[in-house]
Structure 1
Amino acid sequence: MADFNLTPSDMSTFILTGIPGLEYAHIWISLPFATCYIMGLLGNFSVLFVVGKEQTLHQPMYLLLCMLALTDITVCTSVMPKALGIFWYNLKVITVSGCLTQITFLSTVAATQSAVLVAMAFDRYLAICNPLRYATILTNARIAKLGLLSLIRGIVYALPVPLMLSRLPFCDNRIILHTFCETMAVAKISCGDLTFFRLYGLVMGLVLTGLDLTLIVLSYCLIIRVILSISSKKAHKKALNTCTAHLCVMLMSYTPYIFSSLTLRFGQGIAPYVHIILANINVLAPPMLNPIIYGVKTQELRDKMRRNICRM
């Protein structure tokens, strides 16, 4: 514990412990973390490269996929380099400004990504339920505006969080039991009153996640109703296939987030390292799996990626 002794000159820094209780296994834990991170970067950068290069893929569905890839790259890159630095080189110190910046990025990207998933659900709704008007409603320019609005919404949601954290007193306890500056992990080490902070996080999380999930569920209820009315089995199968990838991505994005949030708020009896590992899975799993899901389920993207790989 000698590393954690702070002097008054250290009051501008925090200490990230990594995974408390599993320090002896940090090197072994880092191997799957690093593998998932590299796979996530390679997969998402491949999607960006192929869609950017192929003119035929400059369509709303693939532009939204690029937005999703950008959020995936941002979220895992905001966390993993520092986490791996802790595992490999014992680099546990992080400045207060660096910690608040990390929280801002993570909160912004989480809200932005959720809005992008709603836009993707709307894209599938139009493609199946109103295909004749699809091209006129969802133009590339409108997709760009949707992306900008999603980012603005993410910033508006995220900015109050680091501002409230920066006003909390931290006294002498500056040890964060985590691999990164997760919002609640930082708030818990404060010696101030967290009532308003907890209330804000709970209400905003429920409002944003609840609203986005409601819109997604509503879109898919309408989609299912249209699919069930299709008599042709071939058309029925084609319509289902266009939605499968997005449904898988949505489940990959929301399930770990909701499960991690519930265990963090209500699972007081669960060991701390379980919370931390779940939080890291929430950061790593979607960026790694999303490109694979879309690569497998979307034939046009899969063919273009294969063609570009063969040219290298």
Structure 2
Amino acid sequence: MTPGRQGHAAMLAFSALVAGSFSLGALAANEIDPVVLNAVRFVLAAVVIGVAALATTGLPRSAAQAPWRYIILGGIFAIYFVLMFEGLKTAPPVSAAAVFTLTPVLAAAFGWLLLRQITTGRMALALAIGAVGALWVIFRADLAALRAFEVGRGEAIYFVGCIAHAAYTPLVRKLNRGEPAVVFTFGTLVAGALLLTVYAAPDIIATDWSALPPIVWVTLIYVAIFASAATFVLVQFATLRLPSAKVMAYTYLTPSWVILWEIALGNPVPGALVFGGVAITILALLMLLRDGAEMQTEQKLRGTG
């Protein structure tokens, strides 16, 4: 499997795992302070990734160079997660997923600003098609629901977080100095954990942990291991192999995954028309895969010319 296809496979897994945090997060958001939850989340995720790093690549001393890189990345992703849970206090999971689909365009803009990555015409078309498919899924093929859509406070708060998420993607590529994804992720998580723990220390101490409902613990474990540790590695793995716009393009699949999560949690199955939107998002991703294959072929031809 080529590096590009490895990056696409990583982001496919990323989109499925991230979707779960929307559905579970909405259930737990009003039960615990978002900063407190994410402080613990980052600590647990850092432990998991630290063990994984020691068991695989190790933690080379060179990775500790320029620790300011981890502070920047950890701070940005901490902002994203805190604002996500703050937004989910009032925004429904599917509506929040709608906001999340704005990140590919934002990521493309940051990719140009930070890395001078150019979005090709085919890639721009694929992103646009993916956006249409995502909106189709988000509003369940109901044009009346689309026309009546109003951005609430929760969606607005989460949008700010999505801006941070979009900036994070190209920054990983810009600031990485050859460290393996798992090592770079560990540094990012440790920095984020330190920042959040210092900021939220009084609230962490004041929280009555024994009185928290089970959904908080389920959500905390899920977001720490699957929606933090695993997805951090997947994103950083993918961003070292794909342009920022392509990495974030996989967010278009998230609404589809969210619907599956909602069904699994006992909510009704959407109408058959909704699955037309799923097909459109898959078409967009196939266009991105084809675009990547053509770019690699062109690079090989240039190298032999």
Q: TM-score scaled to structure 2, two decimals? A: 0.29
Larger relative CO (CA 8 A, sep 6+): 1 or 2?
Answer: 2
- Bigger radius of gyration among the two: 1
Q: TM-score scaled to structure 1, two decimals? A: 0.28
